[in-house]
Every structure is written in structure tokens, then in C-alpha cells.
Amino acid sequence: MPRILDGVAIAAAIKQEVAEEVKKLAAQGIRPGLAVILVGNDAGSEIYVRGKAQTCTELGLYSEVLTPPANISTQEMLGLVDQLNRRDEIDGILIQLPVPAHMDTKALLDAIDPTKDVDGFHPMNVGRLLAGRPALAPCTPAGVIEILKRCEIPINGKHAVVVGRSDIVGKPTAMLLLHENATVTITHSKTQDLGAITRQADILVAAIGRPGFITSEMVKPGATLIDVGINRINDRAEFNRFFAGNAKREAAFAKNGSVLVGDIDPKAFELSGAYTPVPGGVGKLTIAMLMANTVRAAQMRRAKHAGSCAHA
């Protein structure tokens, strides 16, 4: 039987560690603060942001949610980011993506102070990650590494194949695996004979955003499968393709009219040595890693400030 890598339990452990770090900082009169900018009224984004604010409260962090209207200009948003950059009680700044189409996303992300960039998207943090220097790493890729390490899945010397080359997940995941001494292959939708490459993977990370894209024929028996995808299925034919005969999923589909599936066909999990389920896998770690990044940003900023004061 393949081993299920429980993202819920790992996220809970990370949150507990974060709460303990927050208590230590509180003893020094420091309370890490996270500011989230949510533009407009995207229902999915609102749910994510509520979850982030609630987790901050649970762990003792200060949080602030700013909700400018959907028609705000890029220039006005840059002014808002600048204000947050200047506020000392704000250690982390996050712009909830996607923003409305008229806005310049890259300009907004580039405007965030790199020391407060808890999403790890600023070019300076991307460069530091590439160079193997201390940096705020993107939350989902960092969560992938935490799952592997905490579940004692060997990475050193293993062949890791990442399917997907996004700046947010695919590329940074590949870089973090490389830093853990894996031999890393990055593949994507244009890769020729993709299955021939994925079948070589000891660790296969699927982050391509297509439901059930990785099939059983593409998996090496005994491999560790890390499914980053979260896709909502509301079509009966597509549901049957993945979950025919699954009573638990059938009941969920009947009740909600939809279910979640990852980028890996659930039937492929049966061949694996270990896998992350969807839901209950990588997705659960993203907010936990955001909290960890916020605390780390607070510690790094203050250590840098103390160092500069010492040299003054």
C-alpha cells in the first residue's frame, strides 16, 4: 500500500512551531505583522484571504487586510504598497493574485520591499534563491520540501522531475530540490515524450494546472508523487473518468456538484510508494508556510537592523 503524505498534519506541526516563535518574539516586544491587499471582489480570493487573516489571529501574528476597489489604478496601488513598505510594524506584504486585468502585476510585485516579500516573488528573492543564499522562498514550493523532509523521503541523489515551469511553483520547486542535492529535470507542456522522462522520476512533482494530466503510464512504480494541482471538477463525464466507483467522492459530488482533483490521475497513486492527496496535501501547507515566512521576515529584518545599528 502506498503511503499517504498527510499535509494537514504537517501544516499543523509547522503552525505550532510558528506560534512558539511568535511567543519568543513577543517576549522581546515584537509582534510579526502581515498585510494582505485584496483588490476587488473575487469570491475565491476572499476565501483565501479570510483563511490567512484567521490563521494570523490563531498564531498570534498581527494582520491587516486592505481592500481597494477593482477599478484602482496601478499607480494608486503602487502608492499603497509604498506606504506598507514604510510601516515598521508590517513585516510581510502580500498582494492576493490575480489582480484585475488592467493592472501591471509585475510592477506591483517588484514594488514590494524584498525584505517584506513573504510570497518570495520579488526578483531579488528569486535571485537569492537561485544563488542558494538566505531568502524568502515561495510558499508552495517551500511546502513541497517540508513534506519531503518531514516524511523522511530521501532527496539527496534522487532524480526529481518537475512537470510545470511557472515562476510561482515549477521553477522555484526545481531550484529548492537542486539545493537538496536532487538531480532535477524540468518538463512542461511542450516537452517531447513527456512520459519517458516522468517514468524516470524517483520524486515526481506535478504543477501544470491540468486535471489528472499525469496518468499511471507516466509513473515509475514506487515513486513519490507530489501533486500541487487543485482543479475543480463539475462535469459528470470528467468525474467518472477519475472517480467512478469511489463512494466517498460520489457522495461529495452529489452534495456539492463538484469535487477537487489534482494534476495526477488518482489511479496513478496506486503505483506510488508515497503520495500527497488532493485535497489534504500540498495545498494545506501554503498558508502555514506564509506564516513561517512572515515570522522569518520579522526576524531577518530586525537582525539586519540590529547589525546596521551596531556598525553605526
Task: Name the residues annotated as catalytic.
Answer: 52, 96, 119
State how beta strands 231-233 and 259-261 pair: antiparallel
Q: How far apart are the first and last CA of the chain?
A: 61
The set of cell numbers assigned to 9 is 498534519
The set of cell numbers assigned to 310 is 551596531
Distance from C-alpha of 180 to C-alpha of 225, rounded to nearest angstrom: 17
C-alpha closest to that of 121 among 132, 130, 131, 110: 110
Residue 255, C-beta contacts closer than 8 angstroms, at least 6 positions apart: none
Specify the DSSP element, H or E, that contains 274: strand 274-275
95 beta partners: 37
Query: What is the per-residue DSSP string for 209-223?
Result: --TT-B-GGGS-TT-
- Dihedral of the CA atoms 42, 58, 19, 131 (nearest 10)? 0
What's the angle, vertex CA 65, arms to CA 49 and CA 109, rounded to 5?
80
Distance from C-alpha of 176 to C-alpha of 156, rounded to nearest angstrom: 12
The dihedral region occupied by 193, where left means phi > 0, alpha psi between -120 and 50, and beta the remainder, is: left
